[in-house]
Amino acid sequence: MSSLSPINSGAAFARASLVPPAPLRVGLIGFGCVGQGFYDILWRLPGFGAEVRRIAVKNPAKPRTLPAERFTYHADELLADPELDVLVEVIDDAAEAFRLVSTALRQGRRVITANKAMVAQHLPELVALQHQHGGTLLYEAAVCGSIPIIRTLDAYFGQEPLRSVSGIFNGSSNYVLTRMGLDGTDYAPALAEAQAKGFAESDPTLDMAAFDPRSKAVILAAHAYGVLLAPEQVLNLGIENISATDIAYAGLEGQKIKVVAGLYLLPNGQLTVLVTPQFVGRESALYGVDEEFNGVIIEAEFAGPQFLRGRGAGGHPTGSAVLADLAALRGDFRYAYAKLRNAPLAYTTDLELEIYLRTTDELLLDQLGFTDITEEADEDGYIVGYVPLDALLQHRDALRQASAFVARTGNVRPAAAHSEEQPTVEEVSY
């Protein structure tokens, strides 16, 4: 029988609970903007209980902020190191990131990634690998920088039906649009300013052509609705061809142009996902989300509207999401993917969107097949009207090549050919 009395036992337990756990030993793959931001955060939080033991980078010749002996140039060495408790992958090569992350999950490892393109392209396989081998993958840093949107959807709204999840998911394009709207700056100098401040990459295509927020929308579709999508299924139109004419048009209506990623549960029970520039009025919480900030609106069936806002670009904001995932792993947290176990929702692109289109290419007008024209201005070269979503998906590359600019007004309705067959889907505004 134990010699400890209940009181003494309680005291012993209290003393034991105050003993800090051994620091997590972290292997960091990548030391760019996010990697350095995360490293700096850990350095500033010595009591957090984690330390970066090894760092893998690709280019030996690139100047670094740490001594050369801190780095290895072979990421596979970190995969083979059994003393590392967690691997943090923050490189920009989606294919290499998938090779490293999938290998680590097959080893049953705990992994954190910030690579949204990799997660969006391979999410079904990544989920399966976690179930098969017992590893854990967290990726809060892959979506909306410092905003805890993935865990909010997975844990808090894991059971509640959601009417929509929409927002500004890309800080780089939002910064450019803010500068153009406030100062009358043209697109090129606004982009150069974003690049100089580290908000946009030297090759801005992923951000400005809306590939980046499309990847994020695909990830959120799995957590918010239990729908696994290929990125190519989602319409993405960017701001590479925006002009002062478009900014001025929005201003006349008291609106701003924002790149809005939207996941919408339609009245007929189907899901659609869109990532395009959109006219946003003062009534929207997104109207005041400027500079490099992101904002997300959750419309829940029972909880009602929720709004989250935070920095979406930069090493420290994104590094803070990596830190949150590291803390979650220490508590054995893993995504529940509760809605993936529900009966799958149907995904549809059989809709018509009201768009603003500025172009000098008359062939594009024919190809898009406007079903209804609500406004037209020949002198400014723009037209407003309804077009099939499928037509925009089919011709999105042609729109970019023709230097056309497209923005949604927010109005959506069923495709004309099926409007009589689907009377339950009314025209809605998003």
Q: Are 162 and 226 in contact (CB under 8 A)?
A: no
d(CA 110, CA 88): 9
Token code pair at residue 406: 């497209």
Q: How far is CA 91 from the centre of its chain?
A: 16
Whose tokens are 């393109």? That residue is 117
Buried b (16+ CB within 10 A) or exposed e, 394-419: ebbeebbeeebbbbbbbebbbbeeee
> What are the strands of the beta sheet with 136-138, ordered from one edge?
71-72, 50-56, 24-29, 86-89, 110-113, 136-138
CA 248 to chain centre: 28
User: Is 216 tagged catalytic?
Assistant: yes
C-alpha span between 216 and 149 (Å, rounded): 11
Question: Which position among 216, 256, 258, 339 bears the catalytic label?
Answer: 216
Longest Cα–Cα distance of the chain, Å, equals 94
Which residues are known to be catalytic? Answer: 216
